[in-house]
Structures are given as C-alpha cells and as structure tokens.
Chain A
Amino acid sequence: MGKNQQQQKICYVNTGPGQKPGVSKFFKKDFLFKFILFFSGFLVFLLVLSIFVSLILNSVPSLKEFGLKFFVSKTWDPVFEQFGALPFITGTLLTSFLAILITIPFSLAISIYLAEFTKHGFYPGFLKNSIDLLAGVPSVVYGFFGIFVIVPVIRYLQIKLHIEPYGVGIFTASIILSIMIIPFSSSLGREIIEMVPAEIKEAAYSLGSTRFEVIKYVILPYARSGITAGILLALGRAIGETMAVTMVIGNSNMMPESIFSPSNTMASVIANEFTEAVTSIHLSSLIEIGVVLFLVTTMISITGKIIIKKFAVHQ
C-alpha cells in the first residue's frame, strides 16, 4: 500500500481521449510555458553578463596600453595620447561625497518624520507627494534648473568671497546632486526606520521617554547599519548621475584644486567626449571609465543590499 499511495493521486480531470490518466493534456503546454518563463529570466541574465563582457572587451586597447597606471595618472591628453583617469575619479568622489553630506540631514529628517510622526494629515501628505514628484523630475531638467538658477547664485557668492566666479564647479554639482538623491535616500531611510521592531520603541515610550529620546537612543542606534547601507546606496546613485552634473560641473579635465574648481566626473567625461574620440585609444579609455563606473556601482549596490538584508533578518 505504501508505494502505491503516491499513485493514488491520479487526476482524471483534463485528460484527453487516449491519454493516460494522471497526465494532463496540457502537459506539453505547461512545460513549454515554464520553459519560456525560465528562458526569459535567462535572457535577462545573459544581458547583464554580455554588458559586462562587451565593456571589458572594448576597453582592452587602453587596458593593455596603460594598465594600472590608468587609475593614478593625472594626465588626460588626447594629443599625446596619454590617458589617466585620476581627475575624474577625484571629481566623482568629491561631488558624490559632498552631495551625501549635504543630503543627510534633510533626508534623515524626512525619513524620521514620515516613519515616526503623524502618518495622516495635510503635512505628511504634502511631504510624500512632494518627494514623489521630486523623484520624477528628469536629470536634464535638474541640470537646466542648475544652470539658470543655482549657478548665478553660486557665482554671486563667489564674487562676494573673492574667489573665481566660475559659478559652475564641484560645489554646484554637489548641491544639485544632493537635491536629486533626496527622494531615493529618504524613502530608503523610511523603510529602514519602519523595520525597527515596535516592541523596543514601545518599551522606551512606556518608560517615559520623549519621542526625541526614543529616536536618538533607541531607533537610530538600532537602525545604524541599515542607515549606513542606505547612505551607501544613495552614494551609488549619485556616482552614476550624468546629465545634471555635466551641465554644471565646468568640464575641466585637470585635477580639481578646491571644491569650487571646475572638474569632470567619470560619467560627465564620457558624455562630453564619447562622440568625438577620434583615436581608438581615446575611445577605449572612455569605455574603460565606463567599466569602472559599472564595477563601482555594482559593488556599492550589492554591498548595500547585503547589509540591509542582514539588518532586516536580524530582528
């Protein structure tokens, strides 16, 4: 009886004439369908792999020519065909880190408000809608706004401070970037804060803590790793941003001297020079920068997500 128990689950529905009971006449179609599903997933996977391989293959000329020197050389000289990416790596790091620094207080405030304060009412609704709309504004519109509104303001400040009135530069780009990542980082922050278990919050409140104290001594320390991961992910976003940065960063391929210097980021130099790189070594150097962008954003994204997963499971 034991072995035959399995065979007891014979289905007589959906069997066609001349077919064995238990075998659905849709068996083939189901199999085909499941295969199509799997194949679609496989195609997507193949896509990601091919992107990586394509980028690497096309940067081989400059990889061979410059090797590791590419990342520490300051010279980007198309005439003498010497390409070094340090100015752009520096520009990228400076703008992104500065943008994160600027955005933290604001994003944190929004996350805390939406997670811990009133959830319904005029102001939360207004806040949520504003942030959603902010998230939908295209990068090029931010850049446009930057050119015509932010740059003159910065220029005015620079004149007052007696520094070169470029208007454009790293500082301006950081400001625009910080505005752009507010929606992303605040929604991430809010998710993290909402993951803090209610029990420990309520325990703190029942001991008589004010909301500020609960946030400062309970929620933030608990959510610390998650918030760090959130900052990391926001950094990844900022690094890849192209249009708004290209429009306000001043487009200089020299090492920046201060945060008010004009500069270029890895993304903006590709946007500037890609259609015009005449020699194959110039082109492959630009593609190599694309590889760096790909790797950096991938690593940041994976690391951030791992930290958040650990944090979420950890309760």
Chain B
Amino acid sequence: MQDILDVISSRKSIRRYLPDPVPDEMIDKILEAARWAPTGENYQPWRFIVIKDQETRNKIGDLSKIGSGKRMTAWYCMGTMQKRFEKIQDPEKRAEVLRFMYSGEVSEFCKQAPVIIAVIGDLKIGSVDVPYDLCAATENILLEAHSLGLGACWVHGPVAATRDAIKFKEILGIPTGMNEYKVICYIAIGWPKEKRKHPRPKYPLEDLVYWEKFGNKERP
C-alpha cells in the first residue's frame, strides 16, 4: 500500500485560486473520501453541501469577512494582533498584513474558490461523536483535494460564533434549531493560484510526544 505520509506532509492551506472550474468527477472523489472517514458506531452524521453559486459564495465570503474582521479589529485595538506579527521586520509590510487581517479581508477568499463544501452534522444521529466525525471527514476532504492537485482551506472561524453560525445556516437553508444541525466548517476548494511552497514548519516530534506517561520524553 502507498504511504500516505507524502500527501499529508506536503499539504498546506491554499487561499488563492484560479478561476478554472473544478471538474465534477473531482468533487465526487473528494466527497467519496469524506464518506470514508472514521465515524463512531458508523453513525455517519455528516452531511455535505456543495456550493458553486457565485452569489451564495459572496454571501458566505461577506459573513466570513465580518466574522474575522470583528474579532481582529478588537484584537488589534487591544494590542494582541500586533504581537502576533511583530516578527515581520518591514514596518510597511507589517502594517499591510495587519490591515489585511483586521479588515477581515483575510477570510473573504471563498468568493474566489470555485467550490465550497459546507460540513454539517445531524445532531439527532450519533450526537456523541458529531464534531469529531465531522473533523475526520474534513481532513479526508483536504487530503483528497490535495492529492488531486487542488488547493483547499478549512475555514471554521466564520461559523464559530453562535449568531454567525445561524446566519450561515440561513444562507444555505439549513434548519437553525440548536437541536438539529451543527455547522463545523466549510472548505474552500480550487486550483491553486499561489505557488505550492512547502508547508509551514512544524514542531519536532520530541517536543510533542511523551512515552508511556504524560511528560516522559525518554523513549523506552
């Protein structure tokens, strides 16, 4: 069996896309990958909404811009955003990056993605595992898209706040009752416009792994 680690370790979040459409066969493969994610008791609580319509994508993009922008405006005003980007030496570049963040433009990119897949969970089916099952399906979507040469980005922020999640549901006609469907995220997918650089550096395993007991870094 082929080692999937190459696919996993070469994936990165892609937020800039070419306008070229994503073929339906590829969308089907991506959905098929999602369907095969692990799921507690085989409940399969996930439901997927595939969105190509530009008007709908614009609405989701606007909601995302407002969702990120409100938080980042506040974080900037509180002084916490600046600390996050203090490693950028050039003051003009730093200011532009910060403006891009607190304006919310950073989260508007789904308007340019030819396809968005909303990942929602039916809370009346296997409610114990809904968020976890949906995250597993989301990861499968990202990996399959990447393996097909597409770029994708997992977007959670715009649906994280309760009021925003309700607005998101309203855009897509999802029942808004708190007992019905949970929106876990959406995934923007398209042909990468940005150059596929190597993913950002990761912490070394020795910083992350304990052996046998919490805190024990000595491999037995």
**Pairing of A with B:** no
Q: Which of B's residues lie within 8 Å of A, judged by CB?
A: none
